[in-house]
Amino acid sequence: MSLRNDRQHARSAEIRAVTARHELVQSSRPLRGFWRRHRTALVIGGGLAAGVLASLLPVRAFARAGSTAGALVGLALRSPFAPLMLGWIAKAREEQPPLTQDGSDAAPAAGSVRTH
């Protein structure tokens, strides 16, 4: 392929990706609004459901799963990649647009430029 075809292909792929992201944001807006309005009830209900499941399932399975998860988290936090992972998570959280009361994205401030 020539450079021109490569650039056209890349532009086309970028447009498809931006369109897909926009559609995903639009389709998830009602769910984000629901989560925002009912966060406390969902957290409490999730904790209650997890407690019921934990009481019904064998303790040994949870002990092994918890031990494995704890070991993996400890290994990840002691690795040289921990600052990189934590920085990536913090940056991703900063870039999330704020939501208004109805669950839609807030408009950017005047003069600000969105990079994504």
pLDDT in tens, 11-49: 999 999 999 999 998 998 888 889 899 999 999 999 999
Statement to judge: residues 62 and 52 lie in one domain: no
Same domain, 65 and 81: yes
- Tokens 């092994």 locate to 64
pTM score, whole prediction: 0.39
**What does the chain come to in residues?**
116
Residues 103, 29: contact at Cβ < 8 Å?
A: yes
Q: Is the residue at 114 inside a domain?
A: no
- The confidence score (pLDDT) of residue 96 equals 74
The span from the CA of 97 to the CA of 34, in Å, is 17
Does 65 lie in the same domain as 37?
A: no
Residue with tokens 């399975």: 61
| Number of folded domains that form the chain | 2
Q: Residue 15 belongs to what domain range?
A: 1-56
Q: Are 35 and 48 in the same domain?
A: yes
Same domain, 75 and 37: no
Domain for residue 99, yes or no? no
- Helices 39-56 and 3-37, interaxial angle, to 10°? 90
